[in-house]
Amino acid sequence: MLKNQRLLCLILVGLALACSNTKRGAQESSSELIRLYVFDVGEILIKDVSIFNSGETGAKLLTNSAYLIRHPKGDLIWDTGFPDSLTTIPEGLDSEMATITMSKKLEDQLSEIRLSPSDIEYLAVSHLHPDHVGNSNLFTEAKLLLQQEEYDSLFLGEVVNPDTDQLTASPFIKLNGDHDVFGDGTVVIKRAPGHTNGHQVLFVNLSETGPILLSGDLFITSKQRATRGVPIFNVDKDKTLETMNAIEDFLSEKGATLWIQHDPDQNETIRRSPQFHN
């Protein structure tokens, strides 16, 4: 009897280890197949960068990027940049705060890697500011992933953004926290309020590049990150600082690299589509 019990225990332990290894193997396999493409979707010449960080002064050119994550279970677009129509205005659009320009359409960059907007299964944006949602109407067939506050602002506000007005009939998932997009831990939307009430960032675990985190507008430049500068137009300064600290802890925990989406110096080191990171 005792011998049979020991045998049963050994079998159960073996099954548990096999299940654990299978799960781990599936996650590693998924990670190996993920590709991350980076698209140029405009430049922003800020006339006084102190609005983002009181420790910096003068004019500063910022990058603007959109991202495609190709996963075995589907494709996710993260942020969509300025609208493609801006490419028809070579001199750009000028305002008191900034001059914005765009040289290449997002739709054309997708075409270069043999994709069209209708091929994309998921659309997620860090928040609803114009430099992050300009081409969102291209992706009406994609499932929309937004925090509750951003979703309410998008569809329940009195002012309708023409860059997103066609998303009203899109399938959607309203989020109230972190969200594992494909269920394997490789692509995770993380709630990161402060810049806006429903701001979010994106964690992507790549097999060769390693784990990265796309910043949205939690951080604008490397100097602002270092000094914990809070942009003057953030909705909640205290919440911003709290989120900054929480994300720094998460980066340390995961051993992840932060990609600051608007930082020009860091973006010079990041490959652009049609090249990719894996």
274 within domain boundaries: no
The domain in which residue 230 lies consists of 35-267
Total count of domains within the chain: 1
User: What's the pTM?
Assistant: 0.87
215 within domain boundaries: yes
Beta bridge partners of 206: 210
The CATH number of residue 247's host domain is 3.60.15.10
For the chain, count helices (H), then strands (E). 7, 13
25 within domain boundaries: no
Contact assessment for residue 139 and residue 77, using Cβ atoms and an 8 Å cutoff = yes
Which parts of the chain sit beneath pLDDT 70?
1-31, 157-159
246 within domain boundaries: yes
How far, in Å, CA of 268 to CA of 246, rounded? 27
Phi first, then psi: give them for residue 107, nearest 5 degrees.
-60, -40
203 within domain boundaries: yes
**Residue 39 belongs to what H/E stretch?**
strand 35-46
Residue 223 region by backbone torsions, left for phi larger than 0, else alpha for psi between -120 and 50, else beta: alpha
CB under 8 Å to 278, separation ≥6 — which residues? Answer: 32, 34, 35, 36, 206, 207, 208, 209
9 within domain boundaries: no
Contact assessment for residue 41 and residue 28, using Cβ atoms and an 8 Å cutoff = no
Position 18 scores a pLDDT of: 42
pLDDT digits (tens, 9 = 90+) for 40-75: 999 999 999 999 988 888 999 999 999 999 999 999
19 within domain boundaries: no
Position 204 scores a pLDDT of: 98
